[in-house]
Chain A
Amino acid sequence: MTIDNIIQWFQSWFPVNVMVLFITSVLIAAVVIFAIMAVNALVAVYAERKISAFMQDRVGPMGQGPGLHAGKWGLLQTIADTIKLILKEDIIPKAADKKLFIIAPFIIFLGAFIALAAMPFGPYLIASDMNIGIFYILAVSSFGVIGIILAAWSSDNKWSLYGGMRSAAQIISYEIPAALSLVSVLLLTSTLSMQGIIQSQAGTVWGFLPNWNIFNNPFSFLAFFIYFIAGVAETNRTPFDIPEAESELVAGFHTEYSGMRWAFFFLSEYGNMLVVCGLTVVAFLGGWQSPIAGVMEGAWWGLFWFLTKLTATIFIMIWFRWTFPRLRVDQLMNVAWKILLPIALFNLFGVAIWTLLVG
């Protein structure tokens, strides 16, 4: 359902002013996207805590669950956390720049939120299928960096400032290999529209593998790994979490934040995971295409496949976090500029030649 579809559908039922229709449709889409982000954060935080616990041979949260006393497996842990965060006092430091301190979390949130507007959750489930979809997502992701810088600067705290600077340097650096590996995919699909990219991945390759970009040729196979590594770095997660680095910087750019504002940082971190994993799925893993061509296809199966792939990639990110140690600042920059960037450039040439010769 794109926004245009909703407008047309409404118009066939209620002949009202197109302005009213437009605002209602946009609001409907916005509420849905917000709900997706919130549910994603609820589930992913719980999953993250449980998975980390199992990886470290613990049991994780067990107390809060459905039922009167200690319920099952701490299923309601995140909801309890959310309620706690809402009820907490909202502290603004005296030395902070109040206006910027207040709006910074929302700017970060905005980056993930408006990027999801072009994310296709199924063959018909996309808020806006624009011609430049993937480019749009890459462009609006930069709001996150600005929000982080503002949060860091306005806190007037040296840990925050260090975190913000590290984060800005990191995200800007990793944007380049990420964008280059996405460009090599665009050479194969020859469209920037998210639905177009997915539609071009229909069918099979070599008779049995799905014709996803990751299986298309050796170069795009490599591009998948470059994009995913750079994507993890862009979400500021371990092993690239030096902007937060709790053992060095307290909590990095959100040291001074508490309560609901702090919760917004987490909501947008998990929202960014959603964006990066969604882009990975769309660009490399066939989006809502079924893994076996011609089997279990259709609108609802499409949603099912997309969410399955999304969950799998998010799980891999969580797995990364609890397996790898944190990189040092200089190592981080070396990885981006001296390893990922040359490979990504080589890859781009490789895909271009492959497209020229093989087709």
Chain B
Amino acid sequence: MTNIVFWFFVIMTITAALMVVLSKNLIYAAIALLVTFLGVAAMYVFLWADFIAGTQVMIYIGGILILLLFGIMLTHKITSVRISHTNVQRGVGALIVAAIFVGLVWMINFTPWLKVTTQEPLQTVHSIGTLLMTDFLLPFEVASVLLLGALIGAAVLARKET
């Protein structure tokens, strides 16, 4: 049964991802992106990473996608300017995409992956928290300083000129 559900989500994610790229209408692309994010969250659930799945929904759907929609909403239709995708430099694009694809496939096949327990963990949040506060404290702090910088930058940009 898990297989059927898994493949359902795989097909859903890939179809939606294709729609993001191929849709001529930006806002439809944004909605397809919503489905893609959901599909990725479902993949995390299959990996027993429930907390990461929740974070995916909260940050990507609850934050980034809303900002995207906000941006599109303020530009399209109200000022009667049609905004849509236009593809330029297809040849070069295809080349770069093919290179990335080959690189990814190579990386996936030749990396000595760490394969551990196949037992479903009882809870994940506790161990994530402990690890963030001990072994990975420095990356965690660096990420928070980066976010703080982005926040201050946004506040400065949004400030009224005096």
Contact = CB atoms under 8 A, between A and B. Distances in A.
Interface of A: 18-19, 22, 97, 99-100, 130-132, 135-136, 138-143, 145-146, 149-150, 152-153, 156, 158, 161, 164-165, 168, 172, 175, 192
Contact of B66 (A153, A158, A168): A168
B17 interface: no
A156 B78 CA distance: 7
Contacts of B97: none
B61 A132 contact: no
Nearest to A196: B123
Contact of B70 (A132, A135, A156, A165): A165
A146 B125 contact: no
A145 B125 contact: no
A139 B73 contact: no
B66 to A, nearest CB: 6
Given A132-B54, A152-B73, 12 more contacts: A18-B1, A19-B1, A100-B31, A131-B122, A131-B124, A131-B125, A132-B51, A156-B77, A158-B78, A165-B73, A168-B66, A168-B69
Interface string B11-34: 000000000000000011001001
B66 A161 contact: no
Contact of B69 (A135, A141, A149): A149
B58 interface: yes
Contacts of B62: 139, 141-142, 145, 175
A22 B123 CA distance: 23
Contact of B125 (A150, A158, A192): A192
A138 B58 contact: yes
Contacts of B55: 139
A163 to B, nearest CB: 12
B43 interface: no
Given A150-B31, A153-B73, A168-B66, A19 B4 contact: yes
A161 B79 CA distance: 12
Contacts of A142: 57-58, 61-63, 66
Interface residues of B, number: 28
A306 B63 CA distance: 32
A307 B6 CA distance: 37
Most buried by A among B72, B124, B125: B125
5 contacts: A139-B54, A139-B62, A149-B70, A161-B73, A168-B69
Most buried by B among A138, A139, A145, A165: A139
A100 B70 CA distance: 15
A contacts with B: majority SS: helix
A217 to B, nearest CB: 22
B65 interface: yes
Contacts of B61: 139, 142-143, 146
Nearest to A22: B1
A130 B54 CA distance: 11
B69 A153 contact: yes
A161 to B, nearest CB: 6
Nearest to B65: A146
B73 A164 contact: yes
B50 A132 contact: yes
B58 A153 contact: no
B7 to A, nearest CB: 13
B154 to A, nearest CB: 13
A149 B27 CA distance: 11
B58 A139 contact: yes
A139 B78 CA distance: 30
A145 B66 contact: yes
A150 B1 contact: no
B70 A168 contact: yes
B151 to A, nearest CB: 12
A145 B68 CA distance: 13
Contacts of A130: 50
Contact of B78 (A18, A99, A161): A161
B19 to A, nearest CB: 13
- 6 tightest Cβ-Cβ pairs between the two chains A and B: A142-B62, A139-B58, A139-B57, A19-B1, A135-B54, A153-B73
A98 to B, nearest CB: 12
B73 A131 contact: no
A164 B57 CA distance: 21
Nearest to B4: A19
